Structure 1
Amino acid sequence: MILKTKSLQSSKTPQSIAGQKQEQSVAFFLRRAFKTHKQVLVINDFKFTFNDETAQIDHLIIYPYGFVLIESKSIKGHVKVNKQEEWTRSHNNKWQGMASPIKQVELQQALLRELLKEHKSEMLGKLLGVKQQGFNMRCWDHLCAISSDAVIDRKTIPAAISDKLVKSEFLVDKLNKVMNIKNRFMRVVNFSDTRPFFSEEELDSIGSFLLKQNIESQQIEPTAANSTTYTTTPAPSDPQQIQVPTAVYQTEAKKTSTTQSYLCCKHCGESTNYAPMYGKFGYYIKCNQCTKNTPMKQACPQCQSKNTKVQKRKETYTLNCQDCSSGTLLI
């Protein structure tokens, strides 16, 4: 599921234009692979601050077992990495050094872990109802996705670096191997897989928390003051058609209306005397009047679409429509 698309900026130099094109290309492959995947959450262009430090992550993957950070790099020509993990690349038939994108994403990962650790009680439940769970035992991986037309000298690159370096078109294949997501049945019967995993509710909470931490980059044309931006220019259907002009205008921002819900018991009509609950089939309310249950998931009150999802943030429940992008306060 794509929680946030790439935020396009004004680009004037050839380097910045190429960089945006590469990020859009990676975002395209992620969207194609995971836009309907409920266990994989994707946040593109995530910028946040913590402890007076700022980090910008090109692409962040959140899945049941942990996190994958992806650094996009537009590199044309040859790429080499020596035994000391120092990077060089050819440009106009000349070799020059470059900063290691692997080291860059490692710094971003460290700050993200600290941010999540500080707020773990807001997102994670307790183990056996006693000990607060954390993020340290989760899977933490990072990759560098480079341009498809780059030439990688795999023979001389250290194995640990080569394993994290992937071309854009092979990124999804690499992610599937890294995440190795199993269904509930396979998790039960596969005793060798001891990875702790997030529940569906915890995944939703982590995604919602991180979106609220995001710092929107400066846009060419600001949106209305009362709107919150989660999505921007739609990705093209083909990465070869991606073109980043020198001036890009932001599309309509995602609506975040909090219209009061008409949530009530479907059996007796009670609209106030009930308790929110979570079960096998998701969130629901248990009526204290007739003791029967009613699902919180319902048709969108704005467009009547049934493509909706309930998200919980502390004691607040919101119905989010995947079609019209409206949000409706349930409780």
Structure 2
Amino acid sequence: MILKDKALSTSNYAKIKAGQKQELDVAFYLRRAFKDHGQVFVFNDVKFKHNGETAQIDHLIAYTYGFILIESKSITGEVTINEHQEWSRSYRGNWQGMPSPIKQVELQLELLKSLMRDNAPNLLTKLFGKLQQGFGGREWHSICAISSNAIINRKNTPKTIEERLVKSEFITDKLLEIMKLPASKPNALHLFTTNVRPWFSEETLDRICQFILDQNISPNLQEPSYVPAEISESEPVYDEALIASEQTNTEQVKPKSDLIKEITLACKQCNSATNLQPLSGRYGYFVKCGNCTANTPMKMPCPNCSSSNTKTSKRRESYSLVCKDCEISTPIKL
């Protein structure tokens, strides 16, 4: 299931456009493979802060047994890695060194681990109501996805690196190989089988996914639903008409004096604004009506600029609708 799309940059800088195209290619393959998958949750372009450090993750997979981080790397030409794990790339016949994307994604993974561990009491339930679970035994993986038109010289590449290096079109094959997902979701009966892998319950995985969305630092950029992988190098990797339209919508934001002060939720079925219980689930925060039991999502278009590029944020017991385009946060009344 895709929980966050790649945010588009409007930069015309060639290097940024090439990097963005590679990330969009990988995001396309991830969408094709996992958009309806009940055990795999995909976040594209995630940025968060923890302990004074910032992590920028191109693609993050949360699944039944753990997490996989993917670093997308745009390379035109040939890439080689020597026995010391040093990377080199060719460009127009000239070779030069480059930072290791494997080391880069490993640093992001360690910060994500620290973030999850520090928040374990809020994310994981207690066993038998007493023993607090941790993230020990969960699976943590990091891999690098390289442009499909690159040439990878694997002759002297250390095996530990070679196994984590894949071209974009093979990314889903590699992920399925790593995850080894069962045909059905694990349950309590799996505890009595041999070689059991610690897993997240459906409720816990929902909570973790919502936590990741809440931690994300979202830039004021447009987000596409998907971009196909077959983008030629001569084409722009963003829709200029869409960006112009979104910029126009942003410019039409109401004056401060006319801003909506508060959103009053009502049940989508019986229209009742009372007896609503706030809950969180796979698709974000919602309210359950105590009168007719219908569920109503808190996420909605921004009441101030009408943009659908919004998310619901929770602070203690208070909820707000945050617009990523006009950057206005509107309290939700329950």
What is the TM-score normalised by the length of structure 2?
A: 0.73
Query: Is the aligned partner of 1:135 residue 2:128?
Result: no
Compared with structure 1, are the counterparts of its residues 186 and 174 closer, same or farther at alpha carbon in structure 2 (3 Å cutoff)?
Answer: farther
- Aligned partners of 1:12 and 1:246 also within 8 Å: no
> Structure 1 residue 15: deviation in Å?
1.4
The alpha-carbon deviation at position 234 of structure 1 amounts to: 2.5
Aligned amino acid, residue 61 of structure 2: I
Pairwise CA RMSD of aligned residues? 3.9
Change (3 A) 1:95 1:50: same
Distance 1:125 1:299, change over 3 A: closer
> CA offset at residue 104 of structure 1?
0.3
**Superposed counterparts of 1:102-121, under 5 Å:** 102-121=102-121
What is the correspondence of 1:150-165 to structure 2 with a 5 Å cutoff? 150-165=150-165
The alignment status of 1:244 with 2:249, answered yes or no, reads: no
| Residues 187/162 of structure 1: CA separation in 2 closer, same or farther (3 Å cut) | farther
CA contact (8 A) 1:138 1:197 kept: yes
Q: Could you say if the C-alpha distance between residues 130 and 107 of structure 1 is closer, same or farther in structure 2, counting changes exceeding 3 Å?
A: same
Deviations 1:175-221 (A, max 9, x none): 011111111369846924421111111111111111111112353xx
| Alpha carbons 2:267, 2:289 under 8 Å: kept | no
| Divergent runs of 4+, >3 A | 184-190, 237-243, 245-248, 250-253, 261-265, 271-276, 283-287, 293-303, 313-318
The separation in 1 between residues aligned to 2:129 and 2:16, in whole angstroms, is 49
Given that 1:30 and 1:172 are in contact with CA atoms closer than 8 Å, whether structure 2 keeps it comes out as yes
| 2:26 aligned partner | 26
CA contact (8 A) 1:81 1:87 kept: yes
Deviation readout 1:200-247 (Å, 9 max, x if unpaired): 11111111111111112353xxxxxxxxxxx71232344336742597
Picking from 207, 224, 229, the partner of 1:233 is 224
Give the aligned partner of residue 226 of structure 1.
Answer: none
Q: Distance in 1 between matches of 2:85 and 2:186?
A: 41
Superposition map of 1:210-225 within 5 A: 210-219=212-221
Q: Compared with structure 1, are the counterparts of its residues 89 and 196 closer, same or farther at alpha carbon in structure 2 (3 Å cutoff)?
A: same
Alignment partners' CA distance in 2, 1:274 and 1:298: 10
- 1:50 is matched with 50
CA distance 1:171–1:301, shift in 2 (3 Å): closer
SS at structure 2 position matched to 1:195: coil
User: 2:12 is matched with which residue?
Assistant: 12
Give secondary structure in 1 for the equivalent of 2:231.
helix
Within a 5 Å distance, the mapping from 1:133-212 to structure 2 comes to 133-182=133-182, 183-184=184-185, 188=189, 191-212=193-214
Given that 1:147 and 1:168 are in contact with CA atoms closer than 8 Å, whether structure 2 keeps it comes out as yes
Read off the aligned partner of 2:237 and give its amino acid letter: V
* In 2: Cα distance, 1:30 partner to 1:192 partner: 31
Whole-Å separation in 2 of the counterparts to 1:213 and 1:258: 23
Q: What SS does the corresponding residue of 1:15 show, helix, strand or coil?
A: helix
Counterpart-to-counterpart distance in 1, 2:266 and 2:195: 41
SS in structure 2 of the partner of residue 215 of structure 1: coil
1:132-159 deviations in Å (ceiling 9; x for gaps): 1112321000110000011111221100
Gaps of 5+ in 2: 251-261, 302-311, 320-331
- Which shifted more, 234-243 or 155-164? 234-243
Deviation at 1:62, TM superposition (A): 0.4
The gaps in structure 1 that reach 5 residues or longer are 220-230, 288-292, 304-310, 319-328
TM, length-normalised to structure 1: 0.74
